[in-house]
Amino acid sequence: MSNLSSKPYQIGYALTPKKEQTFIVPSLLSYASQNGVVLTKIDPTKPLIQQGPFDCILHKLYDSDWKQNLQDFASRNPNIPIIASPESIDILRNRISMLETVSKLKINNTGVPKQITITEVTGLENLKLNFPLIAKPLDADGSETSHKLHLIFDKDGLNNLTAPFVLQEFVNHGGVVFKVYVAGKYFRCVKRKSLPDISEEKLVNLKGSLPFSQVSNLAAGGGGEGCKFEKTEMPPESLVKELVEGLKEELRLNLFNFDVIRDGKNKENYLVIDINYFPGYAKMPDFESVITDFLRDVVHKDINCGDN
């Protein structure tokens, strides 16, 4: 860490109550303060130009009034970084546009599962997708509804879904997902338990649909699961780094994470299945120092924040 300036950096934050509760925690406030960064809560209902002064704005709000508030502030303060531009964030609020960014990268041995958007629950006879499928709400806005995912085993399982939604082919991946957290120059890949594989033999006896909250019931019992998870190899760091750098440039974002799975049919191939703006960093090791360093880099202009 470089020598601290005599005047601490003022970082204004505007977050939902849930995000504030999990992110603006005492350990972060303490570490940041000790390293020359002060986090100050913004009142999003009042003009930003009447608050502050700020060296940087950090936010995760989506409504039109807030966007206008940000725009007014940016027009008067073009040199003050905003994390991040609403236009870049909006790409990740749609489950189709978020993964289109991965396809544009054209990185060897990477891709996305086959998927389509359903706007009306009619004419679903010729989907040209293979079961099982994952049904996800089209909007990925962090709301409770956006997290209601279902595993679909046959055409009957499509009957009770509410459009619009995305249908994505389920890919066997050994029950492990790799989560990659990105904060500016820093990235960290960790592994987490995921949906169990579904064999063709098992699929024959599965009917309708199942909410993700109940999918764990599909897993066969036994003591080998934990051992299998521990032995699962991480993706090559060179590939993860290439994905990180590519997504940062394509999305014009510096604060996000993405989920990667290893294709069960081809262990050399990796599929990105989800990307989130400003995820739950408190779950990440050393998150206090990572976020503090990131904010200092942004203020120093060591990181390009897109339009700002």
Per-residue pLDDT of the chain in tens (308 residues, 90 and over written 9): 444 546 899 999 999 999 999 999 999 999 999 999 999 999 999 999 999 899 999 999 999 999 999 999 999 999 999 999 999 999 999 999 999 999 999 899 999 999 999 888 776 667 889 999 999 999 987 777 777 899 999 988 888 888 899 999 999 999 999 999 999 999 999 999 998 899 888 888 889 888 887 665 565 443 446 668 888 899 999 999 999 999 999 999 999 999 999 999 999 999 999 999 999 999 888 999 999 999 999 999 866 665 44
Look at residue 287 in the predicted model and tell me its pLDDT.
94
**Residue 19 Cα distances to 60, 249, 299, angstroms:** 8, 25, 22
**Residue 232 Cα distances to 178, 257, 281, angstroms:** 10, 20, 23
Look at residue 203 in the predicted model and tell me its pLDDT.
87
- Is the whole-model pTM more than 0.75? yes
Residue 179 among known ligand-binding residues: yes
CB-facing half-sphere around the CA of 87: CA atoms within 13 A:
7
Query: Cβ distance 60 to 278 under 8 Å?
Result: yes
Residue 178 among known ligand-binding residues: yes
Residue 19 among known ligand-binding residues: yes
Look at residue 222 in the predicted model and tell me its pLDDT.
39
Distance CA 215, CA 209 (A): 10
Residues 6+ apart with CB under 8 A from 64: none
Residue 95 among known ligand-binding residues: yes
Residue 170 among known ligand-binding residues: yes
- Using omega within 30 degrees of 0 as the cis cutoff, is the peptide bond preceding 26 cis? no
Residue 224 among known ligand-binding residues: no
Residue 259 among known ligand-binding residues: yes
Whole-angstrom Cα Rg for the chain: 21
DSSP letter string over 132-197? SEEEEESB-SSSTGGG--EEE-SGGGGTT--SSEEEEE----TTEEEEEEEETTEEEEEEEE-PPP
Distance CA 23, CA 60 (A): 11
Strand, coil or helix: 255: strand
Give the residue range(s) of CATH 3.40.50.11370 domains in the chain: 9-84+288-305
Look at residue 292 in the predicted model and tell me its pLDDT.
97
**Residue 116 Cα distances to 23, 35, 97, 135, 208, angstroms:** 34, 47, 11, 10, 19
Strands 37-41 and 9-14: parallel
Residue 171 among known ligand-binding residues: yes
Instruction: Write out the CATH class of domain 9-84+288-305.
Output: alpha beta
Look at residue 89 in the predicted model and tell me its pLDDT.
95
Give the residue range(s) of CATH 3.30.470.20 domains in the chain: 90-277
Distance CA 80, CA 242 (A): 29
**And the tokens for 85?**
């531009």
Residue 104 among known ligand-binding residues: no
**Residue 250 Cα distances to 11, 271, 301, angstroms:** 26, 17, 19
Residue 222 among known ligand-binding residues: no
Look at residue 1 in the predicted model and tell me its pLDDT.
44
Residue 154 among known ligand-binding residues: no
Distance CA 113, CA 281 (A): 26
Looking at 3.40.50.720, 3.20.20.150, 3.30.470.20, 3.40.190.10, the CATH number of the domain 90-277 comes to 3.30.470.20
Residue 169 among known ligand-binding residues: yes
Residue 220: phi and psi, rounded to 5, are: -70, 145
Look at residue 119 in the predicted model and tell me its pLDDT.
87
